[in-house]
Amino acid sequence: MRTRPRFQTILPLAAIAAVLATAACGESGSSGTSATGGQAAATGSASGEACAPVAGDQLVVLEDDKGLQNADNVVPAVNAEAAAASPALVQALDTVSAALTEDDLIGMNKAVDIDRQTATDVAAAYATENDLGAGVTGGSGPVVVGAADFSESQVLANVYAQALNAAGFEATVQTVGNRELYLPALKSGEIQVFPEYLATVADIIAKNVDPASTGIATSDADETLTALEPIAQQYGLVFGTPAEATDQNAFAVTTAFAEGLGVTTLSELAEKCGDGSLSLGGPGECPTRPQCQLGLEETYGLTFSGFSEYDAGGPLTKAAIQQGDVAMGLVFSSDGALAQG
């Protein structure tokens, strides 16, 4: 499975063994049934057993309809000199952004992380299916696309390379490592292109340009990009158009739980389960982090019967939701485990 070495608001736990030894910081509810949830949905409110965990193999993310999370949309980051020398560079990458949906990214991650296909094969198939880079002219010469050392970044870098090749460039993919290594390489022109995450990179570049910055990212991708562009120019980068696809903190339940209550958004969940009967799972920092339990309480008015400590969007949290140990848990929005079917 992929790892996520890039900056996260919620950080991984230091030791899984400690997690297993002290799994619960509060009592998880007992498993409920979809029949109970269906009755609650019909009456328009729910509590107690109706909001208890419901086991199931399939997970679904509830929409963050009030913008608790910042907009970590996938976005092409490009060396400014390379972009100026060839406008076709950003144009070709923008064909990827125009096509790439959340479901697409989840599906490609599933193909690599779960079905064990190679990142290059998955990227090539996606580029062909979506005719990426078609209609872009003027591309020529070598381009190095950087990738971090986790599978999603490898897939996206190869998708970018496929689109650039279709536009006439000679693109290759080079694994660079973590952001501390690849951002300087991108800035210096050692690599020319990198698949980035908008909100995270915006705040990091803002901090690099102005150490006093407290961050420029918001939950709105267009607003974040507008704030980023002049700062990125100072740093020596330009950014293409953000894709619909994101990789950010999200909250998942089983489809059986969501369908039983008739909820698709976090606001709807708060309306159904606002009495404190809901259980939550995630990393140890979750109760005090604004993008986790604290934010759910302050932004959505949710209250919880208990919090159980697992990992940050990893297999322990997902298994706890699926097994009915907690009703809801922190995941990442592009996780291949969210693929339908």
Tell me, what's the pLDDT at 45? Answer: 53
Q: What is the pLDDT of residues 99-147, one digit of tens each?
A: 999 999 999 999 999 999 999 999 999 999 999 999 999 999 999 999 9
Q: Which fold, 16-68+248-338?
A: D-Maltodextrin-Binding Protein; domain 2 (3.40.190)
How is the chain split into domains, by residue range?
A: 16-68+248-338, 74-239
CA dist., res. 200 & res. 281, Å (int): 24
Check whether 40 has a pLDDT greater than 50: no
Tell me, what's the pLDDT at 274? Answer: 82
Tell me, what's the pLDDT at 41? Answer: 36
Ranking 9-18, 111-120, 276-285 by mean pLDDT, the lowest is 9-18
Q: How large is the average pLDDT for residues 272-287?
A: 93
Q: How large is the average pLDDT for residues 19-34?
A: 33
Tell me, what's the pLDDT at 6? Answer: 37
Check whether 58 has a pLDDT greater than 60: yes
Sheet holding 59-61: strands in order across? 59-61, 249-254, 328-332, 278-282, 304-309
CA dist., res. 244 & res. 71, Å (int): 10
Confidence of residue 69 (pLDDT cuts 50, 70, 90): very high
Confidence of residue 24 (pLDDT cuts 50, 70, 90): very low
Residue 166 has which token pair?
A: 């279709």
Task: Give the mean pLDDT of the chain.
Answer: 88
| Percentage above 70 pLDDT, the chain | 86
Q: What is the pLDDT of residues 232-263, one digit of tens each?
A: 999 999 999 999 999 999 999 999 999 999 99
CA dist., res. 112 & res. 143, Å (int): 25
Confidence of residue 27 (pLDDT cuts 50, 70, 90): very low
Q: How large is the average pLDDT for residues 321-337?
A: 97
Q: Which of 147, 127, 145 is nearest to 136 (CA)?
A: 127
Could you tell me the pTM of the whole model? 0.86
Q: How large is the average pLDDT for residues 281-295?
A: 96
Tell me, what's the pLDDT at 141? Answer: 97
Q: What is the pLDDT of residues 153-167, one digit of tens each?
A: 999 999 999 999 999
Check whether 9 has a pLDDT greater than 60: no
Check whether 16 has a pLDDT greater than 80: no
CA dist., res. 117 & res. 108, Å (int): 9
Tell me, what's the pLDDT at 20? Answer: 34
- Contact between 303 and 30 (Cβ < 8 Å): no
The single-letter code of the amino acid at 197 is Y
Residue 184 has which token pair?
A: 């300087």
Tell me, what's the pLDDT at 338? Answer: 95
More confident residue, 120 or 28: 120
Q: Which residue, chain included where needed, has tokens 């490009």?
A: 78
CATH code of domain 74-239: 3.10.105.10
Check whether 295 has a pLDDT greater than 50: yes
Q: How large is the average pLDDT for residues 193-197?
A: 98
End-to-end distance of the chain based on CA atoms, in angstroms?
19
Tell me, what's the pLDDT at 341? Answer: 65
Q: What is the pLDDT of residues 260-277, one digit of tens each?
A: 999 999 999 999 998 888
3-class DSSP state for residue 152?
Answer: helix
Beta bridge partners of 238: 78
Tell me, what's the pLDDT at 47? Answer: 54
Q: How large is the average pLDDT for residues 178-194?
A: 95
